[in-house]
Amino acid sequence: MGAAQAPLLTVYRRLFRRFGPRHWWPGETPFEVAVGAVLTQNTAWTNVERAIAGLKRARALSPRRILAAAPRRLARWIRPAGYFNLKARRLRALVAWWAGQGNPVVTTRRRPLAALRQELLGIYGVGPETADSILLYALGRPAFVVDTYTKRIFARHGWVSWDASYEALQRVFTRRLPQDAALYNEYHALLVELGKTTCLKRRPKCGECPLRDLGTLRLEAGA
DNA sequence: AGCCAGGACTGAG
DNA sequence: CTCAGTCATGGC
């Protein structure tokens, strides 16, 4: 530790200076955050907002209402989020788990992070990123969220390999940063902002990237 | 008119 | 295990 974690904190400070606090996750309650985590899978957030608005308009944004709804109806409410049939099923699976826990924010508080993460991964439609998003942004646990932007940004700078696995990429962060939910919260949000505004897929605006001159960090090799 | 978006599951090899 | 195919709307 010590010197090894410095580069990642430097990256963080640069992003924070550029973009400021992101106030993530957009969502009024932990339950809404968890729902959003499923709805946003491979989907633009603006579409997720419409879907959540649809649920609210139908007064259906609660575990009971979602579990009671017919699949068709649930799918119709979340239609703007895309993949609505698929996501209706995934949502139901997650909400069934959520309701079964009582209030997960309270009931999971003392459970080991790794075990809880494994349990989430066992839910239909919950993969690594969705699980970590729920852990971090709904449950306040220090689970670093890795997404396409994270990989693209770090790989494009040559700091990690393009074919690094999710877990490998996550370890780069968790092994070099303090286990701090507030830090992970802001860090991921900042990476998404950089990804949406600057580190674009086809036409990256590398000239505007605040990380441009950081040089070689070799985050994997040193780990 | 494509391309892209805060992925995950499935079946084939 | 790796990997293409699948799922679908809306913005640019």
| Residue A156 belongs to domain with CATH number | 1.10.1670.10
Answer whether A65's CB lies under 8 Å from A57's CB: no
Residues A122 and A162 in one domain: no
Q: How far is the CA of A57 from the C1' of C1 (A)?
A: 44
Place of tokens 């709804």: A69
Note down the domain range covering A172: 2-23+145-222
What does residue A218 show for φ and ψ, rounded to 5 degrees?
45, 60
Which of A41, A26, A27 is closest to A147 using CA atoms? A41
- Cβ-based contacts (< 7 Å) between A 137-166 and strand B: 137, 147-149, 166
Distance A136 CA to B13 C1' (A): 37
A169 with A211, same domain? yes
Q: Could you tell me if A61 and A10 lie in one domain?
A: no
Q: Is the CB of A185 under 7 A from strand B?
A: no
Packing angle of the helix pair A181-197, A148-156 (nearest 10 deg) = 70
Strand B proximal to A86 Cβ, under 7 A: yes
Are A106 and A178 members of one domain? Answer: no
Nucleotide nearest A165, CA–C1', reads: C2
pLDDT value, residue A179 = 97
Count of CB atoms within 10 A of residue A115's CB? 10
Q: Residue A161, CB, less than 7 Å from strand C?
A: no
Pull the structure tokens for residue A221: 């090799």
Token pair, residue A33, equals: 């955050």
Cβ–Cβ contacts within 10 Å for residue A80, how many?
A: 18
> Which contiguous run of DSSP H or E holds residue A197?
helix A181-197
Looking at the structure, tell me whether residues A51 and A10 fall in a common domain: no
Separation CA A57–CA A77 (nearest Å) = 9
Structure tokens, A57: 């308009």
How far is the CA of A206 from the CAs of A31, A78, A84, A153, A193, in angstroms?
A: 37, 36, 35, 10, 14
Co-location of A69 and A109 in the same domain = yes
pTM: 0.96
Out of A99, A114, A138, a domain closes at: A138
Domain boundary among A86, A114, A138: A138
Q: What is the pLDDT along chain A (223 residues), one digit of tens a residue?
A: 555 668 999 999 999 999 999 999 999 999 999 999 999 999 999 999 999 999 999 999 999 999 999 999 999 999 999 999 999 999 999 999 999 999 999 999 999 999 999 999 999 999 999 999 999 999 999 999 999 999 999 999 999 999 999 999 999 999 999 999 999 999 999 999 999 999 999 999 999 999 999 988 878 764 4
Same domain membership, residue A180 and residue A164: yes
Q: CATH code at A78?
A: 1.10.340.30
* A12 and A41 together in one domain: no
The number of domains in chain A is: 2
For residue A80, give the nucleotide whose C1' atom is nearest its CA.
Answer: C9
Judgement on whether residues A120 and A208 belong to the same structural domain of the protein:
no
Give pLDDT, residue A92: 98
- Alpha helices (H) in A58-127, listed in sequence order: 63-68, 71-77, 84-100, 104-107, 113-121
The pLDDT value recorded for residue A220 is: 76
pLDDT at A14: 97
